[in-house]
Structure 1
Amino acid sequence: MKSEKEKLIAKHSQLNQTDNAKVVSHVQREEKDGEWLRHTIMLEGIDVPFIYRRKQKYQSLVGARVNITYYRHIEEVAGIEFETMKVVRIKRS
């Protein structure tokens, strides 16, 4: 029987999965509309930010180990491309 993670990856070929990664930074900011919070986390050994949104504040994940499913995403700011990872699923490991 396939797990939820395996089903997602099989269905969407662009998805990536990282297990047991240590969170070194976790920032929560209110978005412009004021309804959503934008969470940005950095993982140990990876120089690209992982971004996801939630309606509520969440406990800090700094120092925690997480399993994370994400898409690679390119954002353009002032004509410069920045690579980010758009999180689909995040769970403590």
Structure 2
Amino acid sequence: MITAFRVLLAAGVLVLAACSSHDDSADVVQKGNSVNVGQRTANMDSPAYAACSMAGGQLRMAPQLDGSRVGMCSMANGRQCSEGALMQGLCKA
């Protein structure tokens, strides 16, 4: 009887461990006024977000080779522009 209880307890622990989630494995879509990306957020009230939205794109934070993150506007046609280039008018939709 006790061994059956131990087996059931061990199986329960394994099932719960398999169902656990980690922050790294899930990319959750946020609703509100900011998009959470890693430790840095892209403010959706910023002029860069407004310019990107008006151009038909989505603003996101893109990791760079040096580990920093840069705001990028991803257009519907696949083109990407940095938020700096978009704000300076160097990138067209």
TM class by shorter chain equals under 0.3
Is the helix fraction higher in 1 or 2? Answer: 2
Q: TM-score, normalised by structure 1?
A: 0.26
Q: TM-score, normalised by structure 2?
A: 0.26
Is the strand fraction higher in 1 or 2? Answer: 1
- Bigger Rg over Cα: 2
